[in-house]
Amino acid sequence: METFREMRNRIFVVVVAAVMLVPVYGATVTVNGVKYTTRGNTEVSCCIADARDKGLAELEVVEQVLIDGLPYSVTSVEGRGFKGAKYVKSVKLPNSVKRIGMNAFEGCENLESIVLPDQARVDIPVENYGFGGNGPFKGCIKLREVRGNRLEYPAYALTMAFRKCPEVPFAAEILFLEASNPDEVLLAAASAISSAPVAAPDGTKPQAKEVPECEVDRNIPRSATESRNRFAVIIGNEDYRNGVAGVEFAAKDARVFADYCHRTLGLPESNIRRYENATYGDMLGALKDISAITDAYGGDVDIMFYYAGHGIPDERDRSAYLMPVDADGSMTEVCFPLAKLYERLGGLGARSVVVFLDACFSGSQRGDGMLMAARGVKIKSASVRPKGNMVVFSAASGDQTAYPYKEKGHGIFTYYLLEKLQETKGDVTLGDLYEHLSTNVARQSVVVNRKIQLPAVSASLQLSDQWESMKLK
């Protein structure tokens, strides 16, 4: 019969053995240049052991490692985990990975190929694909191959994650099957991620266009205070693909308006999100990101949304659309509905939303001529009432065209918008701003373009009696 002392000793041995099997948080092991660190009872994260190791060209992250005799599943890539590993040329991630951390592969300047996990939806956190495009692959200028069999990434996350990777042949390498939102994902996949100039057949890059500079581009007033709770989304779509005529000066319009937002209206640079030649995925991502910001601030924010580019109508129901640079103008299904824009912005719950649209929705292009050769008449798009706490300034009314001011190097609407901000140092009511726009745009358009262009303003029901007294600053 077992004595009490023998029983006590046996229990002690069992307890000690059990304690020895309890995983230790932060324990590490290195396998083939990759360091694995315990993060939970059964999971580990990974990073590069030595970013300066010249011998690390091909890295393969394993699905499972043994640390202190215990098996762990590799579930995440650490934020900045492979940052600066400039000698790495290829990375293969296993299907066990569920999260890619912030700036995970930043500065991997020689990284050419990466295999992303199959089967699972990998979390690319919001800080990775924010407006600035500083995603997990920032600075991976040679990345040209992204592979995976079934990737359920949100379109906006993919678009922004690879935004700074000019060599990624997106649609050619990634297959999208059984995605959570196939329409959004496929639209992003069809878009080129880079906005870099496309090479001509002989391999040469197009020459940069000379754009005239005028007085509103110089001596931009500076605000003495910061508006930390004001945010701006700014889109300038100038260089359209698929045979669509460009929008003269749209990129410059957006760039200079962003300068006024920062210098004159006092928005921190981090609060300004500017897109040049935005795809559908870019537009969708911008709205999702500004929604996340508004939620984070509990609605205590003021939002400005600026767009310069093509707008088109649907011939069937006269509904209006903003046109991404990757659309061809013949299918409104791949354009961004104005009603959807108003719904998204109006539903933010922000203190105020002010929208500037230097576009028309008549089917004509900025300047003379029709946007699509197949459309022989201009269409008066159906009006859409803003929602929430929203005021919308449009460059033109009805079936009118939004014209350029060639001498100044701006859209005529944007030029007078900037002029008023410069004149008042940003201290202007929306009512005074509209009066300035409606008077000067109408006059100058007749003189310069010999055509009528009358800006319009529309406010939501909530602001119908007070929008004129509101300010941008």
Pick the CATH number of 215-469 from 3.10.180.10, 3.40.50.1460, 3.30.70.260, 3.50.50.60: 3.40.50.1460
Name the residue type at position 12.
F
120-124 LR contacts (CB < 8 Å, sep 24+): 120/95, 120/152, 121/152, 121/153, 121/180, 122/97, 122/98, 122/151, 122/153, 123/98, 123/99, 124/100, 124/153, 124/157, 124/161
Residue-level pLDDT at 79:
85
Alpha-carbon gap, residue 59 to 274, rounded angstroms: 35
CATH superfamily of 23-190: Ribonuclease Inhibitor (3.80.10.10)
Q: What is the dihedral of CA 79, 141, 192, 320, to 10 degrees?
A: 60
- What residues does each domain of the chain span? 23-190, 215-469
Which pLDDT tens digits describe the chain residue by residue (473 residues)? 556 555 555 554 444 444 444 456 789 999 999 999 998 778 899 999 998 888 889 999 999 999 988 899 999 999 889 999 999 999 999 888 888 887 888 889 899 888 878 654 566 654 444 333 456 777 787 887 777 655 545 444 555 566 556 665 443 233 333 333 433 333 333 333 333 344 444 444 445 556 788 999 999 999 999 999 999 999 999 998 877 888 999 999 999 999 999 999 999 999 999 999 999 888 988 999 999 999 999 999 999 999 999 888 876 777 888 889 988 766 777 788 888 999 999 999 999 999 999 987 654 444 444 343 222 233 343 467 888 999 999 998 877 888 899 999 999 999 999 999 999 999 999 999 999 999 999 998 888 778 888 898 999 999 999 999 999 99
pTM, 2 dp: 0.58
- 36 in Cβ contact with 72 (< 8 Å): yes
pLDDT value of residue 19:
43
The pLDDT assigned to 173 comes to 34
320-322 and 336-337: which strand pairing? antiparallel
Of 117, 122, 127, 119, whose CA–CA distance to 147 is shortest?
117
Residue of 192, 134, 131 lying closest to 167 (CA atoms): 192
Length of the chain: 473
CA angle 231, 236, 240 (to 5 degrees): 150
